[in-house]
Structure 1
Amino acid sequence: MADITDIKTILYTEKTLGLQESGVVVIQTSPKMTKNRLKEILKEYFGINPVKVNSLRIDGKVKRFRGKVGVRNDFKKFYVKLPEGASLENVGA
């Protein structure tokens, strides 16, 4: 079962900052996180009930360094549509 420690980070890139203007936050989590569990975590810890949640699973890339093969970690990205006026920046401040 996924918990709050499975949320790795909130992504801040050019694309995600543009999405944040329209109320969408991009959250990177472990691959075992589900949409329903993420909704429960946002409700329980942040007091926010998301309007919509979309998920995207990303497999880790295979990389080579000095002839050795390595694999980056798998993760999930969630695009979370927040209610009007809600944000994750000022939560817990």
Structure 2
Amino acid sequence: MADITDIKTILYTEKTLSLQNGENNNVAVIQTSTNMTKNRLKEILKVYFGINALKINSLRMDGKVKRFRGKVGSRKDFKKFYVKLPEGASLESIGA
């Protein structure tokens, strides 16, 4: 069983909002932990939100290397999923 806590957030940026609100586009961008798969995400959307995703594309993002006061650190890795939703469906209930 997939766990909803693996979903970190829904991304709301200028680019993702244009995907969400554009013509013939109903795409939500979801940021998750690195161990999430397309099948697990599809199961979470169906069980918790009652949404059958039409298409899911995934993208693995490596954390950036940053320096702070001369010390090297890095941001965490994550996965982004572009989820094509059916007409009229939205993921506003889990929000950012």
**What band does the TM-score fall into relative to the shorter chain?**
over 0.9
Matching residue of 1:15: 15
Give the 4+ runs in structure 1 shifted more than 4 A.
none
TM-score normalised by length of structure 2: 0.90
Structure 2 portions without partners, runs of 5+? none
Q: Which among 38, 41, 65 is matched to residue 44 of structure 2?
A: 41
| 8 Å contact kept, 1:28–1:75 | yes
| 8 Å contact kept, 1:2–1:32 | no
Aligned partner letter, 2:12: Y
TM-score normalised by length of structure 1: 0.92
Matching residue of 1:58: 61
Alpha-carbon RMSD across the aligned residues, in angstroms, is 1.4
| 8 Å contact kept, 1:24–1:80 | yes
What is the deviation of 1:88? 1.1
Q: Deviations over 1:4-51 (max 9, x none)?
A: 101000000000000001200000000000000000000000000000
Secondary structure at the aligned position of 1:50 is classed as: coil
What is the deviation of 1:84? 1.1
Identity %: 82
